[in-house]
Chains A and B, each alone.
Chain A
Amino acid sequence: MRDVAVVGFAQRQMQDYDGSPTCAELLVPIFGECYEQTGWTKKDIGFWCSGSSDYLAGRSFSFVSAIDAIGVLPPVNESHVEMDAAWALYEAWLKIQTGEVDTALVFGFGKASAGVLRRTLSLQLDPYTLTPLWPDTVSIAALQARLGIDGGAWDEAAMAEVVNRSLTDAEKNEYAVRAGGSSVEELLARPMFADPLRKHDAAPVTDGAAAIVLAAGDKAREVRERPAWITGLSHVTDGLHLGTRDLTRAESASRAAAAVGGLDGVDVAELHAPFSHQELILRRDLGLAEDVRVNPSGGALAGNPMFTGGGIRIGEAARRIWDGSADKVLGHATSGPALQQNLVCVMEGTI
């Protein structure tokens, strides 16, 4: 296996992006930041891979318009996944492993505010027995939350604690679209939106884009004194049928963690939990130790741009390696309803 590291990361998050759903004009300055961090130009990028969805944009082939932001004459080596940018990162990492390229720039973008996000996401469900009922994402997460409450796996106070810690940490994150901690009591006094979920239990609808730069071996060492070396990368999915899953568990997250040899020694974990109780599920099923610092960025509850929220977790975790504040970190991404798909990316300062 080749040693591959995260060496660049740039992001934008906002509540209502005043721009086109292809986000090309948003990606230009993000790529600019990546060039600045690496000292490279677009000619130094061996492979480009993006994550986005036309269902968010409301138009076809929006990812093709987005590559205007790269500047593609002469043509570039490029691919796309209809997934979060974290899965685009997986493809790019594989591409580097093949030896065909040494560097890659991965990006994701999405303007979730262009439509009704929780409704649009019904289209990722079983099209025969679920989509015709239009079960929105928030309702499905609420069914999952109550199963855990009724079963004694967590309670509303534990969920509020996750929210309070996340929104308190988000005060230091300039990209957060929701920030400001209060107290568990104050949060629990707020009205229900999708009983047992209050609005703050769900990630805010967020527009945005992000980019991550990967490099192999000496190319990575040229860019950073302490590249965030990827020492474990895996993704696993659970089945399509919600009824046959134990929704209080994230079995695919456990399997992904096992596939990278477990998560012992992780100092900081950025977990992609779009709902408060999902952080509790992930923490347990990923097997994270009690003292792991979770989501110092504020996590998805502070901002969760669709198709970028998972990639941002990897970027945020990598930054802790770059600045020396952690030696081993986890970036996690999820996709699908109720934590159906899970990706883990373990990064370390020394290899």
Chain B
Amino acid sequence: MRRHPQDRTLSAPVTVSFDYTRSVGPVLGRFLTGLRDGQFVGARLSDGRVVVPPPEFDPVTHRATADFVDVAETGTVTSWTWVSEPVAGQPFDRPFAFALVTLDGTDAPLLHAVDVASPDEISTGLKVRARWATERTGAITDVVFVPDTGTAAPAAPVAGEGEVTGIVTPVSLDYTYAASPEESAFFRGLAEGRLVAQRCPQCRKVYVPPRPACPVDGVPTVEEIELSDTGTVTTFCIVNVPFLGQKITPPYVSAYILLDGADIALQHLILDIPVEEIRMGLRVKAVWKPREEWGTTIENISHFAPTGDADADYDTYKHHL
């Protein structure tokens, strides 16, 4: 497999997403409350400059920002770029401009989006004006900029009551997640009903799933071996707590199973046994799903079930706990 680098690994798309809920404090709260109400709020710093957004602490004196200033919704483009291939989450899903906009009466620019149809419609020095969203929550996304035609849009009405104290920022990242070449061999083996392990050439330990390197010796585990699907429960946990996405009704058993011939246990489910009878040393065997349901996944094994044989001697697994 390693001789064919083009298809060395298995991969699958993975999306990692999380909504960050952040409290904003008094300074950013003031700025965001302003955005919600259609008003830019900046701060006067110790060096006299007026800056939007207001920094929480003065960059020179490090004192908390206290001198707030209402600022115009018109300004000048001081730098710009054309986003020819927007990425997810940006203010527009079609090409647009990001710009540094210095609002009238301020001394430092704000980074934001300008809604123009082509790079020919934006230039350094262009006058721009805020275009407020109809629905505003008190977030930097409540506004974008458009070229200033000289006619002011109707004033944006106040959109809420009280101070904005928090924001929710959804973050979602898409990945193509690749298994290591060794894990890929394991998953390909599962698709054929086989349990592929590898042995470290130095310590002779057998790892399943195989790893990119022996964690004891730091050398590749090159020697491939196949294990049987019977093993011994070394430790277990009775799951009593329901959680989002749970597929089995509690209580049920999640266990470490030391496959015969392996030196590291594999985690899987134990079913077909009353939970109060689960114990260390229990001998179990894989219960495979019907072959037509197999893929390159550990889920080909539905669960492990007791073999009915006598329990394993403690000595046979005491070094694998």
Contacts and interface: CB of A to CB of B under 8 A. Distances in A.
Interface of A: 18-22, 24-25, 27-28, 31, 42, 55, 58-59, 67-73, 111, 113-116, 118-120, 122-123, 127-136, 139-140, 142-144, 146-147, 150, 192-197, 239, 241-244, 247
B110 A19 contact: no
> Which of B9, B78, B124, B180 counts the most A-chain CB atoms under 10 A from its CB?
B180
Contacts of A194: 81-84
Contacts of A67: 215
Contacts of A111: 178
B174 A123 contact: no
Given A28-B212, A143-B79, A20 B9 contact: yes
Interface string B38-72: 00000000000101110100010000000000000
Given A19-B181, A20-B183, A127-B20, A243 B110 contact: yes
Contacts of B84: 192-195
A111 B180 CA distance: 12
Interface in B200-215: 211-215
Given A132-B139, A134-B89, A139 B212 contact: no
Contacts of A195: 81-82, 84, 119
B155 interface: no
Contacts of B281: none
B55 A244 contact: yes
A24 B213 contact: yes
Given A28-B220, A72-B215, A143 B100 contact: yes
A70 B173 CA distance: 30
A119 B59 CA distance: 28
Contact of A24 (B90, B108, B141, B211): B211
10 contacts: A21-B175, A28-B213, A42-B218, A69-B218, A131-B171, A134-B89, A142-B81, A147-B79, A192-B82, A192-B119
Contact of A115 (B6, B52, B139, B173): B173
Nearest to A246: B108
Interface string B74-112: 000011111111011111000000111000000011111
A129 B40 CA distance: 13
A136 B87 contact: yes
A29 to B, nearest CB: 9
Contacts of B88: 116, 119, 134
B269 interface: no
Contacts of B119: 192, 195
Contacts of A197: 81
Nearest to B113: A133
A55, A128, A135, A244 — most chain B CB neighbours (10 Å): A128
B237 interface: no
Interface in B218-257: 218-220
A122 B172 CA distance: 12
B182 interface: yes
Nearest to B45: A244
Contacts of A28: 212-213, 218-220
B180 A18 contact: no
B219 A19 contact: no
B140 A196 contact: no
A68 B215 contact: yes
Interface centre among B51, B111, B178, B217 (most CB of A within 10 A): B111
B190 interface: no
Contacts of A114: 175-178
Given A58-B16, A68-B213, A196 B9 contact: no
A78 to B, nearest CB: 12
Contacts of B156: none
B140 A129 contact: yes
A150 B124 contact: yes
B108 A146 contact: no
A244 B174 CA distance: 32
Nearest to A134: B89
Given A68-B213, A123-B171, A19 B9 contact: yes
A74 to B, nearest CB: 9
A71 B214 contact: yes
B318 interface: no
Given A143-B81, A197-B81, A244-B51, A69 B111 contact: no
B177 A21 contact: yes
Nearest to B177: A58
Contact of B87 (A72, A118, A140, A241): A118
Contact of A59 (B80, B177, B216): B177
Nearest to A115: B175
B174 A132 contact: no
B298 interface: no
A71 B111 contact: no
B169 interface: yes
Contact of A146 (B55, B59, B79): B79
Given A68-B215, A115-B175, A143-B80, A18 B8 contact: yes
